[in-house]
């Protein structure tokens, strides 16, 4: 799967270079907010045992971006997102357990404007790599922190990386909306030793954001 994403990113980058038209460079700042829809599946390193499914979580995702115009249809974006991933286990009528990992993610994207309208209005797509830093994590039972698992997030690697893609629309006045998908590449779990049966897959998520470009 990651080879497909790499190919798509490379194609978008090459397309943006080939489509360059002369335009004065211009830098703008964007702020946005939205929600992420994420999940982590837990695998146990035991033959013939199915993964333990967790319920997807929906969390608040703010971000700030810098946008540099490279050409008439191409831009370069870089920015930070506060992003939360995790899973919800064993949800029942009267109780639920939830484990959340809290990241700060640095994105670098190439943006291509598929359709340009009046003023700043355009339909755009983006693609590029990201690097994420795990700052903290929480384990809650019915919404209350579980003290025994306070440092559990330290069992996960501090850095994650992957590729992200989005499609969105910018209005003439600078308001915009976008839908994004981020595909994490590495396994983010850090086994305690060779007897550790827990194996965590890579992190993937969908995001919907609305924002304003100054």
Report whether pLDDT(155) > 80: no
Higher pLDDT pick, 21 / 73: 73
Report whether pLDDT(25) > 90: no
Q: Are 64 and 30 spatial neighbours (Cβ–Cβ below 8 Å)?
A: yes
Average pLDDT over residues 76-92: 76
- Using CB atoms within 10 Å of the CB of residue 207, give its burial: 0 to 12 exposed, 13 to 18 middle, 19+ buried: buried
pLDDT (0 to 100) of residue 196: 58
Query: CA 189 to CA 42: how far, in whole Å?
Result: 10
Could you tell me the residue range of the domain that residue 190 belongs to? 2-213
Average pLDDT over residues 152-172: 88
Q: Are 81 and 62 spatial neighbours (Cβ–Cβ below 8 Å)?
A: yes
Higher pLDDT pick, 85 / 15: 85
Report whether pLDDT(148) > 50: no
Report whether pLDDT(163) > 60: yes
Query: CA 9 to CA 12: how far, in whole Å?
Result: 5
Average pLDDT over residues 124-137: 92
Q: Would you tell me how many other CB atoms lie within 10 Å of the CB of residue 103?
A: 22
Least confident of 21-35, 61-75, 144-158: 144-158
Domain count, the chain: 1
Confidence of residue 186 (pLDDT cuts 50, 70, 90): confident
The percent of residues above 90 in pLDDT, for the chain, comes to 38
pLDDT (0 to 100) of residue 204: 82
Which DSSP symbol is given to 164? E
CATH number at residue 43: 2.40.160.20
Name the average pLDDT for the chain: 78
Name the token pair of 213: 């470009």
pLDDT (0 to 100) of residue 164: 95
């Amino acid at each position: 799967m990651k080879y497909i994403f790499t190919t798509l990113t490379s194609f978008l980058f090459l397309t943006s270079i080939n489509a360059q038209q002369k335009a004065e460079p211009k830098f703008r700042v964007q702020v946005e907010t939205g929600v992420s829809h994420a999940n982590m599946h837990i695998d146990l390193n035991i033959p013939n045992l199915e993964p333990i499914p967790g319920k997807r979580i929906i969390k608040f995702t703010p971000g700030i971006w810098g946008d540099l115009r490279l050409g008439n249809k191409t831009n370069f974006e870089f920015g930070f997102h506060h992003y939360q991933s995790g899973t919800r286990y064993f949800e029942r009528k009267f109780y639920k357990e939830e484990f959340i990992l809290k990241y700060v993610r640095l994105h670098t994207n190439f943006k291509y404007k598929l359709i340009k309208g009046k003023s700043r209005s355009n339909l755009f797509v983006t693609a590029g790599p990201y690097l994420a830093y795990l700052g903290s994590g929480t384990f809650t039972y019915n919404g209350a922190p579980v003290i025994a698992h306070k440092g559990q997030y330290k069992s996960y690697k501090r850095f994650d990386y992957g590729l992200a893609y989005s499609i969105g629309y910018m209005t003439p006045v600078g308001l915009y909306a976008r839908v994004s998908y981020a595909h994490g590449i590495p396994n983010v779990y850090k086994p305690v030793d060779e007897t550790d049966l827990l194996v965590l897959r890579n992190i993937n998520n969908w995001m919907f954001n609305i924002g304003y470009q100054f």
